[in-house]
A = this chain, B = another copy of it.
Amino acid sequence: MRWIAEVHVSLRSGIADPEGQTIGSGLRALGYDSVAEVRSGKLLRIVFDAESSDAAQAAVADMCRRLLANPVMETATWELRADEQQDAEPANP
């Protein structure tokens, strides 16, 4: 069964975020004076196969821990959904 995980990797609060600060300065320079803060992060869309929803959840948690996020500086959250297109049976097999 095919799954799509949308993983959000964000810097922990308190960790300096020069990219976010630069984007914030850019927005204010364009006239958006009301911008108080910008924090930047990464968005990863992972397409993979797993037997069950539980197995898919466990796989994503493991991927985040082992490669996708640095737990000292970052936190990872994700949303998991089945890839409907891949599961659909062909109409005329």
Contacts and interface: CB of A to CB of B under 8 A. Distances in A.
A20 B47 CA distance: 11
A72 interface: no
A8 B9 CA distance: 12
Chain A interface, DSSP helix/strand/loop, else mixed: strand
A46 B72 CA distance: 23
A38 B34 contact: no
Contact of A48 (B34, B47, B67): B34
Contacts of A23: 44, 67-68
Nearest to A67: B26
Given A10-B43, A43-B43, A45-B41, A32 B2 contact: no
